[in-house]
Amino acid sequence: MGKKPLSERADERTTATMDATRSRIMRAVKSSNTGPERALRRALHARGFRFRLNDASLPGAPDIVLPRWRAVIFVHGCFWHRHDCPRGARTPATNVDYWTRKLSRNAERDRENAKALRALGWRVRIVWECELKPIDGAANAAARWLRRATPTRRGHR
């Protein structure tokens, strides 16, 4: 590789910084593979549950789908889904109208998805991010909730 002019090298540095920032933002936005969700999946798996992930054919593409237990679990970030906890009550100081609208819309959509899923015969559980530390309490509670149903042999569609 030849020596590049200074200005071009500066451009590359800027681009690299932008890419890093962008991917950091994308990671934050993409909620499907977050740490808390992975932790709950691991904990449920360790307790013998088997599941599908992010089934896009179901309303709201639930994070964890357990056909055998006719159950779906959403792992929700407190801020994005308006949990009734200190983190969920936070509204950014700037663009207040935008955020209020956006977060209310999220919460509204969550309610609609849950209703649609129940109408299809699914049990629906929301696990909040703030409930996952430590993980065991939340995983045990979810496991108890799952086992409240009699497992089906063929699974639920």
Rounded distance between C-alpha atoms, residue 42 and residue 155, angstroms:
21
Token readout for 24 is: 């950091």
The least CB distance from residue 87 to Zn ion, in Å, is 5
Stretch that binds Zn ion, among 16-24, 53-61, 77-85, 102-110 (CB under 5 A): 77-85
Stretch that binds Zn ion, among 14-22, 38-46, 86-94, 111-119 (CB under 5 A): 86-94
The least CB distance from residue 32 to Zn ion, in Å, is 19
Sheet holding 64-66, edge to edge: 52-53, 64-66, 71-76, 123-128
Site pattern 121..150 for Zn ion (x: CB under 5 A): -------x-x--------------------
Considering the rule CB under 5 A, would residue 83 count as an interface residue with Zn ion? yes
Stretch that binds Zn ion, among 19-27, 88-96, 99-107, 145-153 (CB under 5 A): 88-96
> Tell me, what amino acid is at 56?
A
Considering the rule CB under 5 A, would residue 78 count as an interface residue with Zn ion? yes
Considering the rule CB under 5 A, would residue 107 count as an interface residue with Zn ion? no
Identify which of residues 49 and 79 has a Cβ nearer to Zn ion in the complex: 79
Token readout for 54 is: 């992010």
Rounded distance between C-alpha atoms, residue 94 and residue 152, angstroms:
49
Interface residues with Zn ion (CB under 5 A)?
Answer: 78, 83, 85, 88, 128, 130
